[in-house]
Structure 1
Amino acid sequence: MAAQVRHEHWSSRFAFLMAAIGSAVGLGNIWRFPFITGENGGGAFILIYLVTTALIALPILIAEVMLGRMGQQSPINAMRAVAQKAGRSKFWVVIGIGSTLGAFVVLSYYSVIGGWAIRYFFYAVSGTFTGMDNDASLALFQTFTADAGQVVLWHTFFIGINVGIVIWGLHAGIEKAVTVLMPLLFILLVGMAIYSSTTPGFEKAVTFLFHFDFGKVTPLTFLTAIGQGFFSVSVALGAMMTYGAYLDKSENIARSGIIIAIADTMVAILAGLVIFPLVFSYGLEAGSGPGLIFVTLPITLGKLGTGIELGAAFFLLLMVAAVTSAISLLEPVVSWAEESLGVKRKVSAAAMGAAAWFVGLGSAFSFNIWSDFHPFSGIDIFADKTIFDALDLTSTSLVMPTVGLLIALFAGWALSAEATAEALNADPDAAWFRWWRFLIRYMAPLGVVSIFVANGLA
């Protein structure tokens, strides 16, 4: 039986939006969205992304926040309470269990990459990138990640920062952090984008990102857009449900959801306008993934007269994006422990943070002493996967889509139109509500199933 814990509520709409946008904006926005935009038709992809996000990811985001506010507890206990009140099967608590476990697992390996961002911030500040060529940058990255002690050290530091924020609760911890960090993130992004607009590669970067090249659009482009939108707005990991539990009943969830989705997309586009002008100015490859951030970008920064300042600003930006996402992953687990185990928040945050740190060691070692260890090699899709790769694949390709699908089915089919209208403070006959209900019942489930198909898991 869950303890009756009375949670704090957001002190303002601004605080909630900063926290929710911070949850949505993560490391993937900084490198993945700009790259796949350029590779999938530029402006054509952005248009497809906006449409598919509005039709699939946004309705699920609204539903997840709504369920959190209805349950007023952590995802597991919220789903138990909402299902019971609606007279539905106890099975639906699996939404809360899956999202909470998913958040914990993602935090465990996300913190390893977050640690890299912190380490590279200090590299930038110290001028390490100055005069660096491709071989030197690659050697720096390989030397760092091959050192298990260093990777674990910065993994520990990153987890410690997040525990230090969450341990103080909603008002003194999370709110204070996000209301400072998120405006800082936007200021850094805009400032760096203005600087990048003065570089020789800016025109090429704009073409790379925004040219409508429909020749690159294939059926896979639509699936890529659906997947990016689904994961980008931070649904199905319990964060939005937990943050929704701290919302006052007067808050307009639908309007907030739209703001979150727009801000998340703006950050991703601005990140592209920061990174690619610098990369193209020196004729470097706009490679995908960590290589773009931790290998290619340092070469560019090392060639600039303002490289130390710009590098420090960029990796500070990366740290902020990582931290605001990570605290939203830790909070659902901490909230559940408070309610279900009856422990104080400081104990809960420290214990859950330590547990995520311990599980994260497997991911930290995946880049060095366990790089040849494939724990699930007997399963085809995991045959060549390290612990880090296996956790990432399981979370993003199985757990998150499954939870997202279940959220759509529960909100669209298990709950009545009257119940969801009341929960959203909506008129059941309002056009926007009827449209949302159509999307959550039909379009969103079909979109999530397509993610399974795209990953070969259906």
Structure 2
Amino acid sequence: MSKLSHAQWSSKMTFILAATGSAVGLGNIWRFSYLVGENGGAAFVLVYLACVALVGLPILVAEWMIGRRGQANPINSMLKLSKDNKLSPLWSLVGASGILAAFLILSFYSVIGGWSLNYTLSSVTGAASGFSGLDAEGVGAIFSGLLGSPGTLTLWHTLFMVLVILIVGRGVTKGLESAAKTMMPALVILMLVLAGYGMTTGHFGEAMAFMFSPDWSALTGGTVLAAMGQAFFTLSLGMGIMLAYGSYLGEDVNLIGTARTVILLDTGIALLAGIAIFPIVFANGLSPGEGPGLIFVTLPVAFGNMTGGALLGLAFFLLLTFAALTSAISLLEPTVEMLEERTALSRVSATLVGGIAIWALGLAALMSFNVWDDVLFFGLNIFDLLDTITAKFMLPLTGLGAILFVAWRLDRQSVTQELGLSGGTETLWLLVARFVAPIGVIVVFVNSLL
């Protein structure tokens, strides 16, 4: 590895918090919960855990290793390692794809973050009482009203991006680390509070059985593929994030051990989200298989029809906002790092330029719900197009490129030495990194095209 000359995380713990914060986002709380509900509960959870270990962990380690060795933004890191190993500079496309994916994802992710901010403020101001006594159709009408107002969506999208820009512009130590140190503990505390409430609903046992007592008859090929896709995307893989975060990582950090810690924390919070959400769902006679509307339609019905629901709703949507912010700041970082290193822009200027460009694209995404709802590309509106391009194409291909580069193109001896592997552990790493993880990604990618 090269001598470290890049900005560095102040400690291993702050890096773990930041990496976990990136991984923990709407995908853990919103997407994971509705996928568990749609795919039969425990069977999905167990397959998901296996996929995290066999596909997620090796790709996470590979992306960190590339970043740490390159000590630069994802493009420059890939260029440097390619040159050092006498490989084609075209490998830098892996880094470029990751940065572009993060850029595109944040443009519509910030729109969803704005929804969460809106619901949080509604809880604070008492506007959430408007949910009282409403059924799913009534709450759905409120959500549809939000989507149908470009002015309101722009306000919340803008406010969310301003928060992200302010944090990232402060740099690694004052920005990324400070946010992780503050928001991650707050997120866990709020989650525990909600889980504690779930224990008082009288339906906690039903929720636990749903999540942890598998009905293998519910396991289908679609369930396995959904679990593998969630395992891949929940760890922020293929987005340039972990390549960028790895570039701030010191040589003394054990990559595999740290990856295990991050994955355990990330997965633990996802499971805790289910433990918090499903007792509320069952207690109110709602269906756990409501799909993407579980968070913004189904749960508000529950909050609006229970004692103390306004306060509980505030805690939940504040939690959702924290989770969205921890992921959003990591999504902006690859673009900022690239602009800072490949142009004459300062950290603050790079953050403003990158953030404003993402904000502008986000305007197009939010208008796809209203004034531009008839603007379609391949039958998809702008919001769905951005989601489809990144989720189905860019993320799996970028993650696949990273693991193939490390497992097949970098010097095997240097990789195993850096990872502290020998004997059986080296054999296991080579098996998983060279075959299991790439095949898993390819299967998900090909299935997504069918």
Deviation digits for residues 356-406 of structure 1, max 9, x if unmatched? 0001111110111112210x23xxxxx2x1000010000000000111111
Deviation digits for residues 266-324 of structure 1, max 9, x if unmatched? 11111111111112111123344441111111111112221122111111100111000
Return the offset for 1:452. Answer: 1.6
Deviation digits for residues 142-198 of structure 1, max 9, x if unmatched? 111100000011000111100000001001111011111001111111111011111
- Residue aligning to 1:117: 116
5 Å matches for 1:73-84? 73-84=72-83
Measure the CA separation in 1 of the matches of 2:292 and 2:159: 20
- Contact 2:30–2:295 under 8 Å retained in 1: yes
Measure the CA separation in 2 of the matches of 1:94 and 1:303: 51
Q: Which amino acid in structure 2 is aligned with residue 420 of structure 1?
A: V
CA RMSD of aligned residues (A): 1.5
Q: Equivalent residue of 1:129, what SS?
A: helix
Deviation digits for residues 55-81 of structure 1, max 9, x if unmatched? 111100110011100101110111111
- Residue aligning to 1:451: 444
5 Å matches for 1:7-406? 7-130=6-129, 131-134=132-135, 135-374=137-376, 376-377=377-378, 383=379, 385-406=380-401
Measure the CA separation in 1 of the matches of 2:290 and 2:239: 24
Return the offset for 1:436. Answer: 1.7
Return the offset for 1:37. Answer: 2.4
Measure the CA separation in 2 of the matches of 1:289 and 1:42: 13
Measure the CA separation in 1 of the matches of 2:43 and 2:370: 40
Measure the CA separation in 2 of the matches of 1:292 and 1:224: 17
Structure 1 pair 122/361, CA: closer, same or farther in 2 (3 Å)?
same
Q: Equivalent residue of 1:455, what SS?
A: helix
TM-score by length of 2: 0.96
Gaps of 5+ in 1: 378-382
- Contact 2:37–2:290 under 8 Å retained in 1: no
- Contact 2:332–2:355 under 8 Å retained in 1: yes
Return the offset for 1:136. Answer: 3.0
Gaps of 5+ in 2: none
Q: Which amino acid in structure 1 is aligned with residue 20 of structure 2?
A: I
Q: Equivalent residue of 1:107, what SS?
A: helix
Q: Which amino acid in structure 2 is aligned with residue 257 of structure 1?
A: A
Return the offset for 1:265. Answer: 1.1
Structure 1 pair 262/146, CA: closer, same or farther in 2 (3 Å)?
same
Measure the CA separation in 2 of the matches of 1:343 and 1:325: 24
- Contact 2:21–2:180 under 8 Å retained in 1: yes
Structure 1 pair 160/137, CA: closer, same or farther in 2 (3 Å)?
same
- Contact 1:129–1:299 under 8 Å retained in 2: no
TM-score by length of 1: 0.94
- Residue aligning to 1:440: 433
Measure the CA separation in 1 of the matches of 2:103 and 2:281: 34
- Contact 2:38–2:291 under 8 Å retained in 1: no
Measure the CA separation in 2 of the matches of 1:433 and 1:217: 33
- Contact 1:31–1:289 under 8 Å retained in 2: no
- Residue aligning to 1:380: none
What is the count of residue pairs matched by the alignment?
444
Return the offset for 1:430. Answer: 4.3
Structure 1 pair 435/202, CA: closer, same or farther in 2 (3 Å)?
same
Identity of aligned residues (%): 43
Return the offset for 1:262. Answer: 1.2
| Larger deviation, residues 6-15 vs 68-77 | 6-15
Q: Which amino acid in structure 2 is aligned with residue 161 of structure 1?
A: L
Q: Equivalent residue of 2:304, what SS?
A: helix
Q: Equivalent residue of 2:128, what SS?
A: coil
Structure 1 pair 205/46, CA: closer, same or farther in 2 (3 Å)?
same
Measure the CA separation in 1 of the matches of 2:445 and 2:296: 30
Measure the CA separation in 1 of the matches of 2:334 and 2:262: 19
- Contact 2:134–2:301 under 8 Å retained in 1: yes
